[in-house]
Amino acid sequence: MLRFFTAGESHGKGIFAYLEGVPANFEIDFDFINSELARRQRGYGRGGRMKIERDKVEFLSGVRLGKTLGSPILMAVWNRDYKNWEEIMKPEKGELPKEKVVSRPRPGHADLPGVLKYGFDDVRNVLERSSARETAGRVAAGALCKDILRRLGIEIGSFVLSIGSVKVPREMIEGKELKELFKLAEESEVRIPVKDKEVEERFKEEIDWARKKGESLGGTFLVFATGIPVGLGSHTQWDKRLDGRIAQGIMSIQAIKGVEIGLGFKGAELPGSKVHDEIFYNSEKGFYRLTNRAGGIEGGITNGEPIIVKAAMKPIPTLYRPLRSVDIRTKEPFEASVERSDVCAVPAAAVVGEAMVAITLLGALLERYPADDFKRLRELFP
């Protein structure tokens, strides 16, 4: 019922998010959405472009006098640098000088499979859309969904668990409140959930090392959602299981190569008695658990515990250190090397992860609760 798509090319006019099925009468918090866009752009190790850009959302439809109309919402994050790219990216007919045609596909990107799939002779026709710049649209739409969920008592956050070979020490996290960890991460330049100069330094050193070596780095992050009502998602059909939908949303983020829910791969090593969450009851809380190894989802349905998703991001494929590749026109080999770019985008990807979880959760929630009018939704929401 909630339909979400993005449109737009990285250096085109802008990135756009189409979001349909949002209840009417929800009051938009514009600052919140813009602050989410800013969170996507921050983080130690980002390239220069991130500093130039200060993304802002503009609503093109679906919102009037601050409130949703129930009609399709179209959001624009305009490219402030479009003027400089117009000649190359304009929709109008035009011929490019040969030297501006990109014929060199970069390993690890959609570049080569993309040109072969679509029959292109300019790699730019692929890379402009496959670029992670597209996630600005995801974050804009996700921010709106997060805000709606927040008003229903559902909080979504994330933090970084590792960058390259440096990991947040497990003992510094265990037993801590998710929201507390999130707060700490928001104050960290690398979005790690600890207030510890030494640890933070180790993360920065890893990034500095990579930059010096002409390398890039990936990492892992955790997304959580608290305040979840029981009963989102369903065990009744494979494509209604919430874990499957979350996995699709997360894996669809650029450069993500792994997704876990709850214990994930760790749980595969342990015996059953160490993995399942025993069930308790008291008259105040109703049913509850003392553990949350399932990550809040059993049988594809939320069980009321926080949702816990972890993701693995591969290093950014654009590095200074050359990778061998082949020119698609001449079929000559060359060495792919890029001068200036992000070294590490894990903190940003975590923010995108929040967005995809928010969109997926709101979708599932609107399948269970009345979805036309936010006032009515809030009344009936438990």
Query: Which residues of 25-149 form beta strands (DSSP E)?
Result: 58-61, 63-64, 67-68, 73-78
**Residue 320 CB-density burial (10 A; 0-12 exposed, 13-18 middle, 19+ buried):** middle
Among 246, 307, 361, 362, binds a copy of itself (CB under 8 A): 246
- Beta carbon nearer to a copy of itself, 178 or 246: 246
Residues 154-173 that bind a copy of itself (CB under 8 A): 162, 164-165
Provide, rounded to whole angstroms, the least separation between the CB of residue 254 and a copy of itself. Answer: 8
| Cβ-contact 121, 328 below 8 angstroms | yes
The nearest distance, CB 354 to a copy of itself, in angstroms, is 15
Written as six digits, the tokens of 47 are: 């390239």
CA angle 88, 79, 360 (to 5 degrees): 115
324 sits near a copy of itself (criterion: CB under 8 A)? yes
- C-beta closer to a copy of itself: residue 156 or 308: 308
Q: Decide if residue 54 touches a copy of itself (CB under 8 A).
A: no
Cβ–Cβ contacts within 10 Å for residue 367, how many? 15
Q: Which residues within the stretch 172-211 sit at the binding site for a copy of itself (CB under 8 A)?
A: 210
Q: How far apart are CB 172 and a copy of itself at their closest, in Å? A: 19
> Among candidates 314, 335, 313, 308, which has minimal Cα distance to 324?
335
Residue 236 binds a copy of itself, judged by CB under 8 A = yes
Q: Please, how many CA atoms are within 13 Å of residue 78, restricted to the half-sphere of its CB? A: 7
Rounded CA separation 262/274 (Å): 13
User: Of 43, 45, 47, 62, which lies in the binding site for a copy of itself, with binding defined by CB under 8 A?
Assistant: 62
Our CB check for a copy of itself shows the closer of 87 and 187 to be 87
Candidates 199, 312, 348, 364; binder of a copy of itself (CB under 8 A) is 312
Residues in 345-374 that interact with a copy of itself by CB under 8 A: 356, 367-373
The residues, any chain, with a CB within 8 Å of residue 278's CB and separated by 6 or more, are 289, 290, 291
Indicate the residue among 188 and 303 with the shorter CB distance to a copy of itself. 303
Identify residue 169 by its one-letter amino acid code.
P
Extract the tokens encoding 78: 């305009």
Q: Based on CB atoms, which residue is closest to a copy of itself, 187 or 280?
A: 280
* d(C-alpha 163, C-alpha 315), whole Å: 9
CA–CA dist 11, 265 (Å, integer): 38
Among 217, 222, 307, 362, binds a copy of itself (CB under 8 A): 217
- Scan residues 73-132 and list those touching a copy of itself (CB under 8 A): 73-74, 76, 89-96, 105, 107-114, 116-120, 124-126, 128-130
Q: Which is nearer to a copy of itself, 20 or 183 (CB)?
A: 20
For residue 219, with 0-12 CB atoms within 10 Å meaning exposed, 13-18 middle and 19 or more buried, which class applies?
A: buried
Binding residues for a copy of itself restricted to 280-299, rule: CB under 8 A: 280-281, 283, 287, 294-295, 298-299
DSSP assigned state of 152: T
Which of 171, 239, 284, 339 is close enough to bind a copy of itself by CB under 8 A? 239
User: Among 15, 273, 277, which residue's Cα sits nearest to residue 134?
Assistant: 15
Nearest Cα to 349, choosing from 167, 87, 142?
A: 142
**Residue 140 in contact with residue 57, Cβ under 8 Å?**
yes
Interaction with a copy of itself in 34-53: which residues (CB under 8 A)?
A: none
Q: Is 139 in the site for a copy of itself (CB under 8 A)?
A: no
Binding region for a copy of itself (CB under 8 A) out of 20-28, 33-41, 177-185, 190-198: 20-28
What residues numbered 261-280 form the site for a copy of itself, per CB under 8 A? 261-265, 267-273, 275-280
Kindly state the tokens that stand for 19.
Answer: 């979001």
Stretch that binds a copy of itself, among 10-18, 149-157, 173-181, 195-203 (CB under 8 A): 10-18
Distance CA 170, CA 193 (A): 11
Q: Is 7 in the site for a copy of itself (CB under 8 A)?
A: yes
Total residues contacting a copy of itself (rule CB under 8 A)?
156
